[in-house]
């Protein structure tokens, strides 16, 4: 996290126009001065000569950045390159004339300047095109970062929408369970209310975070299953086993409950005898495996009245793609008398 924050600050600093323009000119000027000094030219002559060239470079570069690129590069590439060559052809004689006049007391250097007109022209073309390449790279870099920010915002909005579906749905189902139990005038009403309160507290407050402690998610599953056991027949086989060491691992909230809810809704609720829901959650470091299987009846009874739709497997798959795009594996086995789901996660 600290590394990422440092990289973000570096990017924000380098993305300032004054910063990357200054770095460009410092690097170019330093290269020009160093090249001249290595050729044995005196320091005084080098600084004078390279300063004049840098000023002409700047004129060409900013004419290119402010006028040629916005008006011609994207729509008329060939015209753009022609105008670059033409601009350099116009500026080069003026630059040669200025250097010629500056070294009026040195006929030998004046002759050298005249002889090097082609080199000066090619240098102007090179620096102008270099500025274009760097501008394209910076624009691409900025576009990629803006695209990533937009993608992140879209993903967060989509996650909020998906979670907004989950919380009211499970609250509705839990209240339905409580209603069914109160009809039976169960003596366990205080226990039911306590577990319901814990479930509601978890859904309404703690699930607003992007990640929650795995131990809290497991505790929520225990409470959910306890409520289901109260309203299921005594012979129903409901098991939940946790294997491995659960410590401070973080996981997306309410990731496993849709599978549990569906196992009752489409399985155990319709079983007459021998129905089961078996869950195993295995943890090894940051690797998690969630396995759930439930019994199925040969033919599902037709509903006597319309019911509100469940969360659905599509919602779970969508959340997994957003939250764990490269760190999950979902396997589903649908057999005549058994339905099983295996979800493997890398808790990163």
In angstroms, the CA 106 to CA 89 distance is 25
Question: Please, how many CA atoms are within 13 Å of residue 333, restricted to the half-sphere of its CB?
Answer: 12
Which burial class, exposed, middle or buried, applies to 166 when counting CB atoms under 10 A from its CB (0-12, 13-18, 19+)?
buried
Largest Cα span, the chain: 113
In angstroms, the CA 192 to CA 179 distance is 11
- How many residues in the chain? 348
b/e per residue, 67-101, with b = 16+ CB within 10 A?
A: ebbeebbeeeeeebbebbeebbeebbeebbeebee
Tell me the C-alpha to C-alpha distance, in Å, between residue 157 and each of 160, 170, 229, 347. Answer: 5, 21, 36, 22
User: What pLDDT was estimated at residue 61?
Assistant: 92
pLDDT in tens, the chain (348 residues): 445 567 667 767 777 788 888 888 898 888 888 888 888 788 888 888 889 989 999 999 999 999 999 898 888 889 999 999 999 999 999 999 998 888 888 888 788 888 888 999 999 999 999 999 988 988 888 888 777 777 666 666 665 665 565 556 656 766 776 777 677 776 766 777 788 788 878 877 777 777 889 999 999 899 888 888 877 778 888 999 999 999 889 998 888 988 988 888 877 766 667 789 999 999 998 899 999 999 887 665 554 444 443 456 777 888 888 888 889 999 999 888 889 999 999 987
User: What pLDDT was estimated at residue 181?
Assistant: 67
Q: Given strand 338-346, what is the order of strands in its sheet?
A: 237-244, 276-284, 287-295, 338-346, 328-335
Question: Please, how many CA atoms are within 13 Å of residue 152, restricted to the half-sphere of its CB?
Answer: 6
CATH 3.30.565.10, the chain: domain bounds: 186-346
In angstroms, the CA 229 to CA 286 distance is 31
In angstroms, the CA 316 to CA 328 distance is 12
pTM of the model: 0.54
| 186-346 maps to CATH 3.30.565.10 | yes
Question: Directed axis angle between helix 117-183 and helix 77-102, to 10°?
Answer: 130
Is the distance from CB of 199 to CB of 174 less than 8 angstroms? yes
């Amino acid at each position: 996290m600290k590394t990422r924050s440092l990289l973000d600050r570096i990017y924000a600093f380098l993305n300032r126009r004054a910063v990357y323009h200054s770095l460009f000119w410092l690097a170019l000027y330093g290269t020009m001065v160093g090249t001249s000094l290595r050729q044995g030219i005196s320091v005084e002559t080098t600084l004078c000569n390279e300063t004049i060239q840098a000023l002409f470079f700047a004129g060409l570069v900013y004419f290119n950045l402010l006028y040629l690129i916005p008006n011609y590069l994207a729509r008329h590439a060939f015209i753009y390159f022609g105008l670059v060559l033409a601009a350099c052809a116009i500026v080069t004689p003026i630059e040669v004339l200025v250097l010629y006049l500056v070294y009026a007391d040195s006929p030998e250097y004046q002759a050298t300047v005249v002889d090097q007109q082609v080199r000066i022209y090619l240098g102007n073309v090179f620096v102008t095109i270099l500025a274009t390449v760097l501008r394209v790279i910076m624009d691409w870099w900025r576009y990629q970062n803006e695209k990533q920010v937009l993608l992140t915002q879209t993903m967060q909005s989509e996650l909020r929408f998906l979670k907004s579906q989950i919380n009211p749905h499970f609250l509705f189902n839990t209240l339905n369970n409580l209603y069914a139990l109160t009809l039976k005038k169960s003596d366990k009403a205080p226990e039911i209310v306590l577990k319901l309160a814990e479930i509601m507290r978890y859904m309404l407050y703690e699930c607003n975070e992007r990640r929650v402690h795995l131990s809290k998610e497991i505790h929520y599953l225990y409470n959910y299953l306890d409520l289901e056991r109260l309203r299921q027949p005594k012979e129903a086989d409901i098991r939940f086993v946790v294997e491995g060491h659960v410590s401070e691992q973080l996981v997306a909230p309410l990731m496993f409950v849709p599978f549990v809810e569906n196992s009752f809704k489409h399985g155990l609720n319709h079983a007459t005898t021998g129905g089961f829901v078996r869950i195993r959650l295995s943890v090894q470091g940051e690797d998690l495996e969630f396995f759930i299987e439930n019994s199925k009846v040969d033919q599902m009874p037709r509903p006597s009245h319309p019911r509100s739709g469940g969360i659905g497997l599509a919602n779970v798959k969508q959340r997994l793609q957003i939250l764990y795009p490269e760190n999950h594996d979902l396997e589903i086995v649908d057999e005549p008398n058994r339905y099983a789901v295996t979800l493997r996660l890398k808790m990163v």
